[in-house]
């Protein structure tokens, strides 16, 4: 499950999803893109979606400026379970 949250620009993370305009597809979710880079440049926060060597989105924010992102909760590790050493034998 994902959650739409508002964070300060300097608290955005790689993997957060940001709204990037109307998009090229007919479906509205095509306009949401994953942030692939977060940079601090001259006191501003630069968010990049996509790859620098191809088409990408670029957003500039003040560090304390509010940004709405969709963030997936961190994956929790599975608890360790004791594995049984019992082997089934098949009788024929």
Instruction: Render pLDDT for 10-61 as a digit per residue (tens, 0 to 9).
Output: 999 999 999 876 655 565 556 788 899 999 999 999 999 887 677 778 899 9
pTM of the model: 0.68
pLDDT at 74: 73
CA atoms 18, 74, 9, 61: torsion sign: negative
Find, among 47, 20, 42, the residue nearest to 31 by Cα: 20
Residue 63 and residue 10: Cα distance in Å, rounded?
5
């Amino acid at each position: 499950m994902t959650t739409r949250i508002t964070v300060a620009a300097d608290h955005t993370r790689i993997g957060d999803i940001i709204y990037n305009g109307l998009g090229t597809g007919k479906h509205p979710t095509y306009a949401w893109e994953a942030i692939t880079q977060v940079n601090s440049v001259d006191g501003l926060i630069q968010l990049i979606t996509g790859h620098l060597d191809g088409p990408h989105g670029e957003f500039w924010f003040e560090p304390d400026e509010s940004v709405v992102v969709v963030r997936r909760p961190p994956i929790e590790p599975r608890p360790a379970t004791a594995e049984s050493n019992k082997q089934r034998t098949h009788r024929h």
